[in-house]
Amino acid sequence: MPQRVDHIDLTVPDLAEALKYFRALGFVLPEVLPASGPVAISLPGDRVTFDIREDRNATTTTLHHVALRTDDHEADLALIDEAGITVSKAATLNPASGRIISNFVDPFGALWQLTD
């Protein structure tokens, strides 16, 4: 089964303003921001990151997905499937992170992710 929360992915209407806010709260930002895609931030010493992504059509901060870290992606994906949970993306390479991800949806429509 998953070992811990890996990251929480948030969508914001204004990335620069969001990063200013999180920096004021004590989050650590990368020295060089990525040219595109989400910005990974975390609290000092914390292993959980928040991936902040911009969507100019958004009107508020929203949860995009929660990612759970696994040491055995294949076995955990099989357990999710056996539980009857809908998997929308199975064992796919994420080119931005180089990790294997699988996406699944909870009973209320929220996106969750399994990552190695």
Mean per-residue pLDDT, 24-40: 91
Confidence category of residue 33, pLDDT binned at 50, 70, 90 = confident
pLDDT digits (tens, 9 = 90+) for 62-76: 999 999 999 999 999
pLDDT for the residue 14: 96
In this structure, what CATH number is given to the domain that contains residue 76? 3.10.180.10
- The total number of structural domains in the chain stands at 1
Query: ∠96-111-108 over CA atoms, to 5°?
Result: 175
Question: Which of 69, 71, 89 shows the shortest CA–CA distance to 81?
Answer: 89
Given a cut of 90, whether residue 1 has pLDDT beyond it is no
Residue that wins the pLDDT comparison between 11 and 32: 11
* Domain coverage including residue 56: 4-115
pLDDT of residue 89: 95
Up-side HSE of residue 57: CA atoms within 13 Å toward CB? 0
